[in-house]
A and B are shown apart, each in its own frame.
Chain A
């Protein structure tokens, strides 16, 4: 539940959209070690999630009661058959971690994407059109921000049932406001820019101005927020899963692995330790990437997030 600050809107806007290409990416990588490290970590987690069936050594939900609570290979009694040990049902911790990446990444990427789409649309309408729409949308944002979001998510998931779709929707509800606020502020400023006045004087419709001139100018901050929100949603999803309200068993999730290991902390700490490290490293990588991207795309935003 990383905190957020919504002070972005005040930044003045006049920037062209950087084009992405491989050479440009390479140049970016040279300029930001942080983004590179983050990118590599995130890349590895994505590969792990995509290639899970190839990378996993056993089926993640296969129980083998003959090898219950085996330690990782570097400890006494550990073996490379189960490199990170096994849990109380003899399931392979390493394979479960690899498969767990799928849930975390899917939910967080989707939720952040839906949140971004809704939030950007709301922010554009509020900021560009202003007036009554602006007032209504911003009050909904305030309302949404006032809720202890994890409590609301818990209640909704508990009532509607914990499955992938509901989790994505609930997480999206917790994330759209920040885009709305930032995009509103930026488009408010953009609306008064001379080039926008000029285009309007030339006879362009509002829809065209928004699509061709406002949207590209809010793209960079949206990408940065999206990255950081993915990290926050991963933490939130794992917290829900930890509380028993994540994607239901037997699908392995990092949060539930951690919760299941709690009862074996003293005898088999690795069951809880590794999923925690997995969450932390993934979130760290995404934060690195987000920070690096922010510095590269929009240095003025430094310190405002």
Chain B
């Protein structure tokens, strides 16, 4: 158990280091960062001065070490566009993104679990067909298109929901739904399969044999066990949810990290891009670490393995 946690932690640290390397080398993809960061008409003297000032004339390993050293202290450099330290700029937008992604996740779970369980218990019936239809639609629809269609319907035609920005909970409804749709589809399918499998287990037959009511068998024995694997999936999906948020935030001008990062990418604001890629990827690593540890606690069989 302890060895497992230690190994898992070591992996997480390794991955975070890798994440830092990728965020660092992003800047060097195009060759010379100085030429890109400076305005087009910069003279050779200006470029040399800029390089020396920012340390771009040092060997790459030295630069990477410096990047790492500063990153650990939360220093990702000054935003070229905003003239402020990039980390606080991103941190200020994190709550908005969290509100959106967490709502989307809860929404997906709230929809997918009942739908999946009903589909499993009514296998082959109308509810099953409906659930699988929803799943197929959700798996195939481009979420940004769904977002636009929702805006057209609920905001423009009926005027019941606001089109953009962040305010009350009414503002969250459409963007969260758009982000949740793909996850809902995936989870519905997974819950359905997991419940069908668990219902075929011996202990479920025993519970039924004891004369327990079907609802009790489901609620006490079948569903909780079927949901355990879901934890891992939800953790793995967090990266996709964040990715979805990037696109959806742009459509709804939701003032989160996604919208901010897209703007930084389009403006070539490297310190912000680096910081944001690093922070979002690290968040995904930490969440997956947490999920794996929770999973061990939920399913004692893994502790041995």
A287 touches B140 (CB 8 A): yes
A243 touches B30 (CB 8 A): no
B142 touches A5 (CB 8 A): no
| A residues near B277, Cβ cutoff 8 Å | 147-148, 151-152, 155
Task: With A276-B142, A283-B139 given, name 9 new contacts (CB 8 A).
Answer: A143-B22, A146-B18, A146-B285, A148-B243, A149-B239, A151-B258, A158-B265, A239-B247, A283-B140
B198 interface contact, C-beta 8 A: no
B261 interface contact, C-beta 8 A: yes
Residues of B participating in the A interface, judged by any CB pair closer than 8 Å: 11, 14-15, 18-19, 22, 26, 29-30, 136-137, 139-145, 148-149, 151-152, 156, 182-183, 185-186, 189-190, 192-194, 196-197, 229, 233, 236-237, 239-240, 242-244, 246-247, 250, 258, 261-262, 265-266, 268, 273, 276-277, 280-281, 284-285, 288
* Given known A-B contacts A3-B236, A148-B243, A265-B152, A279 and B190 have beta carbons under 8 A apart: no
A-B residue pairs in contact (CB < 8 Å), sample of 13: A1-B240, A2-B186, A3-B182, A3-B183, A147-B239, A147-B284, A149-B243, A154-B246, A244-B266, A284-B140, A287-B136, A287-B139, A303-B196
Task: Tell me whether chain B's interface is mostly helix, strand or loop, or mixed.
Answer: helix
* A303 to B30 Cα, complex, angstroms: 42
Q: Scoring A residues 144 to 163 as 1 if CB is less than 8 Å from chain B, else 0, what string do you get?
A: 01111111101110111000
A146 touches B19 (CB 8 A): yes
| A residues near B273, Cβ cutoff 8 Å | 155
A1 touches B285 (CB 8 A): no
Residues of A participating in the B interface, judged by any CB pair closer than 8 Å: 1-7, 139-140, 142-143, 145-152, 154-156, 158-160, 231, 235, 238-239, 242-244, 258, 262, 265-266, 269, 272-273, 275-276, 279-280, 283-284, 287-288, 302-304
| A residues near B136, Cβ cutoff 8 Å | 284, 287-288
* Given known A-B contacts A146-B19, A265-B151, A160 and B30 have beta carbons under 8 A apart: yes
Nearest CB in chain A: distance from B129 CB, A: 13
* Given known A-B contacts A1-B243, A3-B183, A5-B236, A154 and B139 have beta carbons under 8 A apart: no
B266 touches A158 (CB 8 A): yes
Nearest CB in chain B: distance from A114 CB, A: 19
Closest to B145 in A: A276
Closest to A140 in B: B18
Nearest CB in chain B: distance from A120 CB, A: 21
Nearest CB in chain A: distance from B37 CB, A: 12
B246 touches A143 (CB 8 A): no
B11 touches A148 (CB 8 A): no
* Given known A-B contacts A151-B261, A280-B142, A265 and B14 have beta carbons under 8 A apart: no
Closest to A276 in B: B145
Partner of B18, one of A139, A235, A269, A276: A139
* A297 to B280 Cα, complex, angstroms: 38
B193 touches A302 (CB 8 A): yes
* A138 to B200 Cα, complex, angstroms: 34
B265 touches A154 (CB 8 A): yes
